[in-house]
Chains A and B, each alone.
Chain A
Amino acid sequence: MSLIRKTAAELGAMIAAGDVSAVEVAEAHLDRMAEVEPKVKAFLHVDREVTLEQARAVDARLRAGEKLGPLAGVPIAHKDIFSTHDMPTTAASKILEGWRPPYDATVTKRLREAGLVFLGKTNLDEFAMGSSTENSAYHPTHNPWDLTKVPGGSSGGSSAAVAAYEAPLSTGTDTGGSIRQPAAVTGIVGMKPTYGGSSRYGIIAFASSLDTPGPFARNVLDAALLHEAFSGHDPMDSTSVDAPVPSVVEAAKSPDIAGMRIGVVKEFSGEGYQAGVLARYNEVVKLLESLGATVVEVSCPSFTTALPAYYLIAPSECSSNLARFDAMRYGLRVGDDGTRSAEEVMALTRAAGFGPEVKRRIMLGTYALSSGYYDAYYGQAQKVRTLIARDFEAAYQQVDVLVSPTTPTTAFAIGERADDPMAMYLADLCTIPSNLAGNAAMSVPCGLADEDGLPVGLQIMAPVLADDRCYRVGAAVEKALESRWGGPLLKEAPSL
């Protein structure tokens, strides 16, 4: 079997045993990228020589007897919002075109130390704002299952790269669903760790109280290995949790859910959900029961106001965070002709450098935070946030995990929702509550919708720092469905 079809765990074991070199594995993936990138367009930046140099260095470290982790030599693609000192970092924005950070994000630094090899930087919705990757200032990315469809977003380059077998692993960030939703619509595994469980240091900020870096992989164990490799307390992030990393790898190897209590979120089904999504979802709920779990329906009434609360809180934080793009210290500067003031240059630069969705959200956040509206909008949204956390707390008195569809529909067509922000926002309907409460949540593939043959994701939500429960349930679902299907859902990228 060719190297690109192997799992990350298999590649790591082969490299450790000396059966194959990190350079050979990197070359196989770079060749695959050269072959399919004209169709998928998952990457914003690729530099074959930088990647091979990293791979040669890992091979040398292994030859010298250095003890590296289980993913040493395994290639990975990074969402272009993680700072990398040897590759440009743009957040898919014109305002940061060509920018090279002077330092690494904690996540990328830890993965370098663990011996992972960086294949390049993947496309995203500008500053991670969007659900389709169409808001990239550079180009859209295409879903490997059907090139006319979106790969989800905002981490759509990372989901497409893994689904297209260009990379076995990738990183993403999840602020309102930006890992789980793209994973669901490309038929792969995506995990949003507990907020603060993975460091935000060196990741270009969107909404700081929500942003959470996490892994993409084609199977649950690979996601767990990556999760473990970059997680843990980071003194450089003041909201990093100082607690042991949940034992996610052990959980991914223990697909046993007998006796577990699983809650079905009543509010997340019915009207507005695609029939094929609900069919696969209802089947997998029955499957969970047949595997020995106790399934009960749970009501979380405040979840229905999570979407409006999120679209006040996230834009408010973004309007503040993106004030740093002031044309003074880094990035684009427009209109500095010697006559204009700093303020005029700032306004011209931001108008030229930000795309439409970013401008919308900055203005919406500025509105929600302005005097006279603060209490009615931002203040009220923060209260809804408390109510959502209380709904989760009450639910977890009764059950160990909650499940729902990850998304109301399968992948939509490129262009279909591009001019309708509210329709686009609905893609995050089921994923947002976990961000507002800081909980752990995962999406695992649960089949293809009958009407369009596109992947459907199951969302598994767990309490703060109980990330391992997502992996245990995810592994059980994966094992049972793969035995039913006779192999993984994504045997090969269907349209490539």
Chain B
Amino acid sequence: MSAITRDEVAHLARLSRLALTDDELDHYATQLDAIIEAVAKVSEVAAEDVPPSSHALPLTNVFRADEVRQSLTPEQALSGAPAVEDDRFQVPRILGEEA
């Protein structure tokens, strides 16, 4: 039995905001199935009582004083933008026609 179905891969692609073609979905479904089968080896490790580590070092939140500092100018911040209008990022519509 496969670890992941083609429909599940299509769902992952939607969640990942990747507009994949049917051929690509077939291809990735086969590859992801093999990869998931291999990485599932972690479930064989007996680790009920082991705490998880999200980081290598025991660091907690690091804060700085809440002071105004120099930051990028609008020109610098917008310098790589695909589209700009009136010193702002111009984006495609984000709401449906009805909204």
Contacts and interface: CB of A to CB of B under 8 A. Distances in A.
Nearest to B63: A238
B12 A367 contact: yes
A471 interface: no
Contacts of B68: none
Secondary structure at the B interface, as helix, strand, loop or mixed, is loop
- Among B16, B42, B91, the most chain A Cβ lie within 10 Å of the Cβ of B42
Nearest to A336: B92
B61 to A, nearest CB: 8
Given A327-B82, A330-B81, A367-B12, A381 B18 contact: no
Interface stretch (A132-140, A144-152, A383-391, A409-417): A383-391
Interface in B68-99: 72, 76-77, 79-83, 89, 91-94, 96
Nearest to B75: A102
B13 to A, nearest CB: 6
Interface in B24-40: 24, 28, 31-32, 34-36, 38-40
A333 B82 CA distance: 6
Nearest to B20: A351
Contacts of B93: 341-342
B35 A438 contact: no
Contacts, number: 182
- Among B51, B81, B83, B92, the most chain A Cβ lie within 10 Å of the Cβ of B92
A368 B16 CA distance: 12
A196 B53 CA distance: 16
Contacts of A336: 82-83, 92
A326 B91 CA distance: 10
B20 A305 contact: no
A362 B18 contact: yes
Contacts of B1: none
A319 B41 contact: no
B59 A384 contact: no
A329 B50 contact: no
Nearest first, the 10 closest Cβ-Cβ pairs linking A and B are: A438-B56, A382-B52, A330-B80, A333-B82, A383-B47, A102-B76, A347-B19, A308-B39, A351-B19, A385-B53
Interface of A: 99-103, 195-196, 209-210, 235, 238-239, 241, 302, 305, 308-309, 311-312, 319, 323, 326-333, 336, 338, 340-348, 350-351, 354, 359-360, 362-364, 366-368, 370, 376-377, 379-387, 389, 421-422, 435-439, 464
